[in-house]
Amino acid sequence: MAFGILIVFFFLSTVSASQDMDSLFQEHTQQKFDTARREGELFERRRKEGEEIKDREREFRDFTDTVTKKDSEREKEEKDTIDFYNELEDIREFVVSLAPSDDETRPLRRFGIDFIRNYSFSLREEELSFGPVNPDYRLGVGDEVVISMWGEVTFKETYEVSRGGTISPRGIGSITVAGLSLRQLEEKLTRQFSRVYSGVNYGRPNARTHFDVSMGSLRKKQVFIIGDVQNPGVYNIPSLSGIWGALSYAGGVRDKGSLRAIYIRRDGEIVDTVDLYSYFLDTAAIQEKPLASLADYDIIEVAPVQNTIALSGAVHRPAIYELYDEENLADLIQYAGGFLPEAYRGSCTIYRTIPGEGRRVFTVPLDMIDTVQLHKSDSIHVGYLREYDNTIEISGPVQRPGKYSYYEGMHLSDLIDLAGGVEEYLFDHRIEILRTNKDFSKEVLATNIGELLSGNEAYDVELQEWDVVRFYSRWDVEYRDYIVVKGEVQRPGRYFLRDNMTVQDVILLAGGFSQKAYKDTIEVSRISERNHRGGNKSTPKKIPVDDDFFKNDGLVLEHLDYIFVRENSYLRDQEVITLSGEFIYPGKYAKLSQDETLLSLIDRSGGVRNSAYLEGARFIRRKDSIGVVSIDINSLLSDKNEREDIVLEDGDSLYIPTRPRTVQVEGAVFYPSAVKYEPGRSVRHYIDGAGGMTPQGDRRSIYIIRANGEVRRVRRRSGYVNPGSRIVVSKKDDTEGLSGVDIMRLTQSLLGIMTSAVSLALLVDKLD
């Protein structure tokens, strides 16, 4: 407790200059934080370094001035995006409510946001490890230069550019190459070699000795990636990697990060601004302006997204787009790939939220899209043409169900003729017509199809455009007799009863016997009136099965007959038990007999290892549901105690862990953690080792969960603790103020940011 307060006090003096460090190096410092929380040694060591750390922190503050200063300038902009996710949710709800198809009901995504996230680590490394190097590539410390010479002199050697920026080729000594392009290096080596080897004539075709310069392994460069990316931090990226690869190392851009305002800072100035949309949508842009190249110690900053506009409906790429202030609806449609052929070209709908006033809907003619300026968080929907304007549909037991062309004055009999007439199993009492009126209201009409088919024209309903006529079969409305097949057949279940159906027929319908079927007899259970009067529900009948079973006619089945095909007990699946953990031969074992016991199986496995922790053994039975069975394995093995032995069942498993060395403390303590086990220590000792109990901790509600799953309530804080146990301190039912979890999270946050400051100071020191 005192140590946590001391850290918080120390941190508060420097927190103003380190507010964004945790977000910059969260992933890098997580391991440092874990170590600091367990041991407390990292901060003690850093504190003793005194002035050295302070000097490094001052250097880092100078380095981060350009970043932290940007925070105050961006404060208002970030306030504008505080409701970003709520706006996205509104947009998605809007799309779901208007979309005409299943595809359109999918939530809209930010356009391009997944391009970099899906750029895999393996691709980044592999694509930069092979292939030629651009002649304009600038050499730096750590690059490997491969020089091959043939002719009067032959050799091939690889040289690494030293920290001084030099290499020492054979015969010419040390030369400076750092900062030279590959083309410039070749020219320089030609001049140098021509002075040493007479066969190398600079600029002449009659040279008797030739050489080639190529690149071996390329150095990695260090860049800082900050802003709205998934994992801000310092990254060592391949030397040929550009902005795309660098962002992928940081996990891609966050949902509220911009894809069109990515700044590359070098020596305190912005040297390039990257708009990824131009590369997503225009391949010519990549040739005219290749993706920005990066230098060592560049800072890549992803700014917050500003104007987001949702576009849904009949366009090629419905999505949420990011637009510049000067861009309009025509630009948005172009980004989305244009209209689909089925798009309604008359107008589109804009849903707009006006701050302080409410929500408005605007209908915009599509021939005016060049003049329509959009506002932040607008939602635009491009409608679809109606599927068909002259259709009518018929379904059910007719010869050719489907859609047909409607014409004025069309009657029900005309539609039946177009559909080829009705089937014999038609339910001839009633059909339904689902009608869509001109105002899009719905109504259901009904008529007697039997009367119409008998020639009564009074039932020949005049149809309207968009009518859907539904015919029913007898099986849709009438009850059907059935029988049930159970047991060892391929497809057990309920089957409709047919006239003169026999046992053989239904076995074939069910796919035949399974491999485990007992094929001597089949049992048929039948309900009859006489049985009911006598008090019996059913009468079983045994049907013999022989080689001629399917050749002969068998028992004719009746409604509600049940056919049972029994399992051959000799062909049952073997029962398997699993032993895992500290056994001599762990693994899966088949039961040797129906009454085999756990002790017998442990003997078959060779017994347990010396490192086995028997008190933590867990026996799990999965027959009906997963549950832990309490067994004293120690007593079973040492005393051969038959009372602890148990008859095994299929799916049983026994796990014996190695002897643990810690005790886990959880719940209402300041630092939930694993505390080193010490024999004879009390519950109080381990709670104190986890920072002590918070004010919300209930001293009367402390539980120990032992390694074997047994749960016990601690009556006194001096209770006995086994290794591998978990001590859970419950919260009081009625608490006030800050909870233990809140205090823990606050302390973790402070520790994480402080660790970031120290770690980042060391990184800056390395850069120098």
Do residue 225 and residue 300 come from a single domain?
Answer: yes
Read off the pLDDT of each residue in 421-448 and give the average, rounded to a whole number.
Answer: 89
Angle formed by the axes of helices 26-39 and 41-48, nearest 10°: 100
Pairing state between β 697-705 and 662-667:
unpaired
Do residue 76 and residue 7 come from a single domain?
Answer: yes
Do residue 705 and residue 672 come from a single domain?
Answer: yes
In a domain, 503, yes or no: no
pLDDT tens digits along 145-164: 999 988 888 889 999 999 99
Q: Check: pTM over 0.75? Answer yes or no.
A: no
Please say whether the beta carbons of 484 and 562 come within 8 A: yes
DSSP assigned state of 426: B
Report the domain count for the chain.
Answer: 7
If residue 463 lies in a helix (H) or strand (E), which one and from where to where?
none
pLDDT at position 625, please? 60
Q: Of 65, 197, 193, 216, nearest to 139 (Cα)?
A: 216
**What CA–CA distance (Å, rounded) separates 53 from 47?**
8
Residue type, 669: V
Do residue 231 and residue 289 come from a single domain?
Answer: yes
Order of all β-strands in the sheet with 233-238: 233-238, 220-227, 299-304, 257-266, 269-274
Task: Say whether pLDDT at 295 is over 60.
Answer: yes
**What CA–CA distance (Å, rounded) separates 645 from 657?**
20
Q: Taking the CA atoms of 673, 678, 683 and 687 in sequence, report the sign of the dihedral they define.
A: negative
In a domain, 334, yes or no: yes
Q: Which residues contact 577 (CB under 8 A, 6 or more apart)?
A: 588, 589, 590, 591, 601, 648, 650, 651, 652, 653, 654
The CATH number of the domain holding residue 430 is 3.10.560.10
**What CA–CA distance (Å, rounded) separates 360 from 377?**
12
Do residue 300 and residue 169 come from a single domain?
Answer: no
pLDDT at position 665, please? 93
Angle formed by the axes of helices 740-767 and 2-12, nearest 10°: 50
The more confident residue out of 604 and 207 is: 604
Residue for token pair 């299943």: 102
Give residue 649's region: left, alpha or beta (phi > 0; psi -120 to 50).
beta
In a domain, 537, yes or no: no
Read off the pLDDT of each residue in 566-572 and give the average, rounded to a whole number.
Answer: 80
Do residue 175 and residue 227 come from a single domain?
Answer: no
Q: Taking the CA atoms of 241, 245, 250 and 256 in sequence, report the sign of the dihedral they define.
A: positive
pLDDT confidence band for 95 (50 / 70 / 90) = very low
Task: Say whether pLDDT at 469 is over 90.
Answer: yes
pLDDT at position 538, please? 66
pLDDT confidence band for 531 (50 / 70 / 90) = low
Q: Sort 716 into a burial class: Cβ within 10 Å, 0-12 / 13-18 / 19+.
A: exposed
Task: Say whether pLDDT at 179 is over 60.
Answer: yes
| CA-only gyration radius of the chain, Å | 40
DSSP assigned state of 78: H
In a domain, 692, yes or no: yes
Q: Which residues contact 675 (CB under 8 A, 6 or more apart)?
A: 662, 663, 664, 665, 686, 689, 690
Residue type, 258: S
Q: 455 lies in which domain range?
A: 397-472
Domain final residue pick, 427, 450, 472: 472
DSSP assigned state of 571: G
How many other CB atoms are found less than 10 A from the CB of residue 282?
11
How much of the chain exceeds pLDDT 90, in percent? 30
Do residue 185 and residue 331 come from a single domain?
Answer: no
Q: Which residues contact 19 (CB under 8 A, 6 or more apart)?
A: 68, 71, 753
In a domain, 649, yes or no: yes
Q: Of 100, 187, 674, 617, nearest to 387 (Cα)?
A: 100
**What CA–CA distance (Å, rounded) separates 25 from 31?**
11
CA end-to-end span of the chain: 38
Task: Say whether pLDDT at 228 is over 90.
Answer: yes
**What CA–CA distance (Å, rounded) separates 184 from 236?**
26
In a domain, 648, yes or no: yes
3-state secondary structure 123-191: HHHHHCCCCCCCCCCECCCCCEEEEEEEECCCEEEEEECCCCCEECCCCCCCEECCCCEHHHHHHHHHH
pLDDT confidence band for 204 (50 / 70 / 90) = low
Do residue 433 and residue 314 come from a single domain?
Answer: no
Task: Say whether pLDDT at 745 is over 60.
Answer: no
Judged by DSSP in three states, 718 sits in coil
Judged by DSSP in three states, 381 sits in strand
Q: Which residues of 109-143 are buried (b: 16+ CB within 10 A; e: fewer)?
A: ebbbbebbeeeeeeebeeebeeeebeeebbbbebb
pLDDT at position 119, please? 61
Domain final residue pick, 656, 674, 704: 656
Please say whether the beta carbons of 38 and 32 come within 8 A: no
The more confident residue out of 445 and 55 is: 445
Do residue 300 and residue 311 come from a single domain?
Answer: no
Task: List the structure tokens of 207.
Answer: 């040279």
Pairing state between β 358-365 and 343-354:
antiparallel
Domain final residue pick, 215, 235, 252: 215
pLDDT confidence band for 101 (50 / 70 / 90) = very low
pLDDT confidence band for 492 (50 / 70 / 90) = very high
pLDDT at position 287, please? 58
Angle formed by the axes of helices 26-39 and 740-767, nearest 10°: 120
In a domain, 102, yes or no: no
Task: Say whether pLDDT at 380 is over 90.
Answer: yes
Read off the pLDDT of each residue in 210-231 and give the average, rounded to a whole number.
Answer: 89
Q: How far is CA 279 from the centre of its chain?
A: 27
Angle at 393 between CA 391 and CA 394, to 5 degrees: 155
**What CA–CA distance (Å, rounded) separates 607 from 612?**
10
Task: List the structure tokens of 253.
Answer: 């851009």
Look over the chain and give the mean of its residue pLDDT values, rounded to a whole number: 78
Read off the pLDDT of each residue in 208-214 and give the average, rounded to a whole number.
Answer: 86
Do residue 423 and residue 450 come from a single domain?
Answer: yes
Question: Residues 64-69: contacts with CB within 8 Å, 24+ apart?
Answer: 64/17, 64/20, 64/21, 66/265, 66/268, 66/299, 67/20, 67/226, 67/299, 67/301, 68/17, 68/19, 68/20
pLDDT at position 135, please? 85
The CATH number of the domain holding residue 177 is 3.30.1950
**What CA–CA distance (Å, rounded) separates 655 from 685?**
29
Task: Say whether pLDDT at 252 is over 70.
Answer: yes
Task: Say whether pLDDT at 697 is over 70.
Answer: yes
In a domain, 497, yes or no: no
**What CA–CA distance (Å, rounded) separates 762 from 34?**
18
How much of the chain exceeds pLDDT 70, in percent? 75
Please say whether the beta carbons of 263 and 300 come within 8 A: yes
Angle formed by the axes of helices 51-80 and 740-767, nearest 10°: 110
CA 194 vs CA 148, 150, 215, 236, 698: distances in Å: 15, 14, 21, 38, 87
pLDDT at position 493, please? 92
Task: Say whether pLDDT at 624 is over 90.
Answer: no
Do residue 53 and residue 69 come from a single domain?
Answer: yes
pLDDT tens digits along 5-35: 333 333 333 333 333 433 433 443 444 444 4
Task: Say whether pLDDT at 92 is over 70.
Answer: no
Do residue 609 and residue 679 come from a single domain?
Answer: no
pLDDT confidence band for 43 (50 / 70 / 90) = very low
**What CA–CA distance (Å, rounded) separates 473 from 427?**
5
Task: Say whether pLDDT at 390 is over 60.
Answer: yes
